[in-house]
Structure 1
Amino acid sequence: MRVLLATWGSRGDVQPLLGLAVALRELGAEARVCAPPDEEFAELLARVDVPLVPLGPTVRSVTAGTKPPTAQDAARLAAELVAAAFDTLGPAAQGCDALLANGMMAAAGARGAADEVSIPYVYACYHLRGLPPQGELSPQDETDKARWEQGRKATELYGTALDNHRAAIGLPPVDDLRDHVYTGRPWLAADATLCPARDRTDIDVVQTGAWVLPDERPLPQELEAFLDAGEPPVYVGFGSMAPHAPKGIARAAIEASRAQGRRVLLARGWAELAPIDDADDCLVVGEVNQQALFPRVAAVVHHGGAGTTTTTARAGAPQVVVPLIGDQPWWAARVAELGIGVAHEGPPPTVDSLSAALTTALAPQTRTRARAVADTMRTDGATVAAHLLLDMAGRKTRP
């Protein structure tokens, strides 16, 4: 049995699909992954021996600019991604028994590819903010209403391009793009403790649990030596948030950690974070095994992506979340609500504000709570999803 998995986005969008691909392989199925052709993602897929089908432009080429994209840029990218999805996913779906997509940027074309070859299609997301509202929002949901109105306008960018490509392969136009893409029963690939589906009673959600890609790589020798040389350090990283990382975040985080008597692990990432001096209490690392590293740090300061939040929580490490875009403010609020860390929202971080946040995160009660929450988290989300997907593919039915 063969399954096609598709996404276009950052590493946080790609890596969970690899967790699912590995779980499918363990059940005897073959998984193809369509993802952006960034070198980092190609290396990630090669590491687990999953073939990459390149989809669209590289993410770095889109996010490398120093200015936010204009409306014209967004419209151009939407049309480009829909065209790339039809050109790539249609042929890739031939011979497949099911197609699962994540994110509007890939899923708009993915649904058409599934329709073209008449195979089951599933939309999956990694957080509640990735699910559409159903029915009328209540008055207290003004923030959600504004957000979804913004989302509605964004999805309209895909509508015309999508219908043109569907017509070219003999498919009818789409009446409601969001219903078409998200379907009536989307999947939520998030841990039920961190992100409970019960919070969305307005929509029928299948919660599988988070799709975690197991990582058995050893830590680099230099990092091992640094960890062994003193008390657990504070880890600071902002992943692929290159154009969005707060200005001066490296200096603020290093000085705030030092104010707490802590050493610092600085993750270079796409933001190219760098040390502020030659002191030996700060080490810069590249891409490393966070599953092995985070249980050994004092706290994790990060942007609040679904993957980093989940990895930190599973490790039982306190966290300070500095949300920037998208679903990150929701994850920050959830971390604070659970008592496993601090949400640093509002103005850009300063030494004083980060030091105050770390005071709470490094408190013994926060560590105790983080470990207690870690004990409640399941690790079989990818396997659960793989069984569901193969069952659906075998029956050739919609979810």
Structure 2
Amino acid sequence: MRVLLSTYGTRGDVEPLVALAVRLRASGAEVRMCTPPDEEFTERLAGLGIESVPVGPPVRALMRATAPPTPAELTRYRDELLETQFDVFPAAAEGCDVLVAAGLAQVAARSVAEAAGIRYVYVTYSAVNLPSPHHAPPPRPGWSEPAGADNAALWELDAQRVNAQFLEPLNAHRAALGLPPVGNVRDHVYSDRPWLAADPVLGPWPETGGRQVVQTGAWTLVDERPLPDELEEFLAAGPPPVYVGFGSITPSPDIARWSVEVSRARGCRVLVSRGWAGLAVDGCFAIGDVNHQRLFGRLAAVVHHGGAGTTQTAARVGVPQVVVPIRLADNPYWAGQVAATKVGAALDGPTATIESLTAAFETALAPETRARAEALGAEIRTDGAETAARLLLDGPG
């Protein structure tokens, strides 16, 4: 079997598909993967022997821009990405038996799969991304968040906005491929039976969620990398520290500083992860890309932005969390899940204060919170990528 995997986004979007690719190859499948052209992604795939197909502009440059893109710039960016996908995907899908697309940005993927006559699977990493009466749509960059409407009305508005952006160009490409038009771009991309690559304990799909969803568990790969010697020395030199890191996100300038101040006020040492923002706080031990699976279990708490991967890793090793998300994508959802399962505390990033962060630390560092975190960690599955690979290899059922 030949499988094409495709996503566009940051490391949190790419790594789950890498985990699936490794599982598929171990079972004898051939794998090709479309990702952004950022060097860290192409080198990662090359190191694993996975064929890489770069698609779209680099993501890191967009995330590290000095100012957020305007709505008009985001509209142009999305239009250009759609055109690039229709240029690249047909050749990438040649000879493949199935196309797995992760994320709403993969607007062209299903049409290319239809034209090639191959199976199409859509996957998301968070339940909040799929329409349901139990939750509102996640915040999307460049689109305002309406207030006062119920979830059904908000999802309808979300579909209208996606159509306004993509319906006309998508149907023009489908006509060129000899395919019929679609009326709802978002639901077309999601398909009638989407997959949810999230842990059913930490991020379950509601039993009455409104659509048939295949929940496989999160797609993770065991990280065997040792921690750097200087980090090992730091960890061994005192009690477990607090980790402060925001991945690809650039947090409010005050959040990292406040997190360090509150940690120190409680007598905790601090690790600061630089991330894509190049985060640094005076007097703190700063780290780059390290093995979170090895590190997180040796910490007092993890302060982060609410990415699916970071939340999952921290939960799996049973470390308490303080989530300070910006209003973007699934970050607020994972913050809410951490609070709901009582394995940490969550704040609304734009309204956070040093007082609210102090209260969050009180919750996260309490002995009963660690006990709950360790109990939940023992329940989290580790076979999500294996389950997904088996479903792909066995065929639709």
TM-score of the aligned structures, taking structure 2 as reference length: 0.92
The question of whether the paired residues in 2 share the 8 Å contact of 1:260 and 1:359 is answered with no
The question of whether the paired residues in 1 share the 8 Å contact of 2:132 and 2:209 is answered with no
Identity of aligned residues (%): 53
The question of whether the paired residues in 2 share the 8 Å contact of 1:102 and 1:123 is answered with yes
- In structure 2, the partner of 1:269 is 275
Deviations along 1:11-49, whole A, 9 cap, x unmatched? 111110001101111111111110101122223323433
- In structure 2, the partner of 1:233 is 241
- In structure 1, the partner of 2:206 is 198
Alignment of 1:298 onto 2:307: no
Alignment of 1:313 onto 2:321: no
- In structure 2, the partner of 1:104 is 104
> Structure 2 CA distance, aligned partners of 1:339 and 1:149?
32
- In structure 2, the partner of 1:251 is 257
List, as ranges, runs of 4+ consecutive aligned residues in structure 1 with deviation greater than 4 Å. Answer: none
Deviations along 1:49-106, whole A, 9 cap, x unmatched? 3222101111123333333333321221121111111111110100001001011112
Shift of 1:260: 1.1
Shift of 1:169: 2.5
Alignment of 1:351 onto 2:354: yes
- In structure 1, the partner of 2:10 is 10
Shift of 1:319: 0.1
> Structure 1 CA distance, aligned partners of 2:364 and 2:277?
24
The one-letter code matched in structure 2 to 1:300 is V
Shift of 1:296: 0.5
Out of 277, 282, 288, the position equivalent to 2:290 is 288
> Structure 1 CA distance, aligned partners of 2:252 and 2:67?
14
Structure 2 CA distance for partners of 1:7 and 1:346, relative to 1, 3 Å? closer
The one-letter code matched in structure 2 to 1:128 is A
Structure 2 residue runs without a partner (length 5+): 137-147
Shift of 1:147: 5.8
Q: Which moved further from structure 2: 39-48 or 284-293? A: 39-48
> Structure 2 CA distance, aligned partners of 1:234 and 1:373?
20
- In structure 2, the partner of 1:334 is 337
3-state SS in 2 of match to 1:33: strand
- Correspondence 1:113-152 to 2 at 5 A: 113-133=112-132, 142=150, 145-146=153-154, 149-150=157-158, 152=160
Aligned residues: 385
> Structure 1 CA distance, aligned partners of 2:122 and 2:63?
25
3-state SS in 2 of match to 1:292: helix
Out of 361, 364, 373, the position equivalent to 1:361 is 364
3-state SS in 1 of match to 2:37: coil
The one-letter code matched in structure 2 to 1:274 is A
- In structure 1, the partner of 2:183 is 175
3-state SS in 1 of match to 2:50: coil
Shift of 1:132: 2.6
Q: Which moved further from structure 2: 171-180 or 143-152? A: 143-152
> Structure 2 CA distance, aligned partners of 1:4 and 1:112?
14
Deviations along 1:152-207, whole A, 9 cap, x unmatched? 40353122221222222222222221221111110000000011113553110000
TM-score of the aligned structures, taking structure 1 as reference length: 0.91
Structure 2 CA distance for partners of 1:10 and 1:203, relative to 1, 3 Å? same
> Structure 1 CA distance, aligned partners of 2:208 and 2:36?
30
Shift of 1:385: 0.4
The question of whether the paired residues in 1 share the 8 Å contact of 2:273 and 2:279 is answered with yes
Shift of 1:141: 7.1
The one-letter code matched in structure 1 to 2:377 is A
The one-letter code matched in structure 1 to 2:110 is R
The one-letter code matched in structure 2 to 1:343 is A
Structure 2 CA distance for partners of 1:92 and 1:63, relative to 1, 3 Å? same
The question of whether the paired residues in 1 share the 8 Å contact of 2:325 and 2:347 is answered with yes
The question of whether the paired residues in 2 share the 8 Å contact of 1:210 and 1:379 is answered with yes
The one-letter code matched in structure 1 to 2:237 is A
Structure 2 CA distance for partners of 1:177 and 1:151, relative to 1, 3 Å? closer
